[in-house]
Amino acid sequence: GTITSQDDNVVVGYWHNWCDGRGYQGGNAPCVELKTVNPQYNVVNISFMKVYDIAEGRIPTFKLDPTIALSEAEFIAQIDTLNSQGRSVLIALGGADAHIELTRGDEDALAAEIIRLTDLYGFDGLDIDLEQAAITAKDNQFVIPAALKMVKEHYRKTGDNFMITMAPEFPYLTANGAYTPYLTELDGYYDFINPQFYNQGGDGLWIEGVGWIAQNNDALKEEFIYYIADSLINGTRNYHKIPHDKLVFGLPSNIDAAATGYIQDPQDLYKAFDRLKAQGQPLRGVMTWSVNWDMGTDAANNSYNQQFIKDYGNFIHNQLPPVTDVSDDDWQVGSTYVKDDKVTHNGATWTAQWWTKGEEPGTTGEWGVWR
């Protein structure tokens, strides 16, 4: 088949089909070519499939933004390149201005349009990214799952796994939350869920002995990540169950990408994920809004320098958190070690990453050593 599906851990990043998004703190998210997206993002979600003009009808579609300066042929070729690297490219349905209001009877037309776009561009699946009113608008909760089941079955006939994912804002994941119909209808069809644990400020959960843990409480970030994930993967504390191997933790790339939710100290995520792993329920990975923000700039025009993927890419794919503040001798300066070589130092094994032979640390390229 032509579809590239993911069976293992995922780092999911959204790709903007527009240029120059303004950030919450005044930064800028540039438009980028797909081929420049860091290879550790093994799922890239094209944002967005939507209704561009309600006069054209109710069925959402996708149109490549010409300001990105990629031709359709180049865009298709770059999706093919990512597929050849074992990476998946999904179409994200929704976004803030999606105008998706489907009515019963639209299932066939929606399924046909998803299949047309999938075959034309080489997409590997669809991410339901409906927000606020669009979640419950008209018959969306019936039509979208029905259409996606048809699409999944269509590709199953050729031995392909058309991926189905969702990015619900986490307050909609309560036992009878607005996303429940999508989760129940697509049970057995969806690959993973990557909820948005951002922009929901005061929302959170109550834990006996800890108290109220709000999503925007930086002091209790490790506890929030652990307890909200634990609630979801076990279907407890009034949350709808999402199995641990189908839960991907959604985060903003930096303080410009969302109003709240950015993790100031990555150790909070490492520790929470390790606690979940220790109870035999490791999560599937992380998601971020967005690859563009990870490559963006802050209000002072300083690059964000792909810090999100540096913090979490290797941790998710190889279970190895980055080691910071290493001294010169940890780098084996002037040696011939290259990326992924194992280096023994002071009795510990290190893995060289982003290595430039013979250079002093910090002089060229991106440097990082991982234990």
- Catalytic site positions: 131
Which residues does 224 contact at the CB level (< 8 Å), separation at least 6? 197, 204, 205, 213, 214, 215, 217
Chain mean position to CA 125: 14
d(CA 3, CA 79): 11
DSSP 56: G
User: Vertex 284, ends 33 and 203: CA angle to 5°?
Assistant: 90
Cα separation, 267 vs 271, in Å, equals 6
- The answer to whether 204 and 231 are in contact (CB under 8 A) is no
**Number of other CB atoms surrounding residue 137 within 10 Å:** 16
Rounded Cα distance, 47 and 127, in Å: 9
Beta-strand relationship, 348-353 and 88-94: unpaired
Interatomic CA distance for residues 187 and 192, integer angstroms: 10
Question: Over the Cα atoms of the chain, what is R_g?
Answer: 21
State the sign of the Cα–Cα–Cα–Cα dihedral 181, 184, 187, 190: positive
295, 32 Cβ separation under 8 angstroms: yes
Q: Are 272 and 233 in contact (CB under 8 A)?
A: no
Output the CA angle 315-253-295, nearest 5 degrees: 100
Amino acid, single-letter form, for residue 271: K
- Phi then psi dihedrals of residue 272, to 5 deg: -65, -45
Backbone angles phi, psi at 352, to 5 degrees: -80, 130
Coil, helix or strand at residue 353: strand
Phi-psi region at 223: left, alpha or beta (left = phi > 0; alpha = psi -120 to 50) = alpha
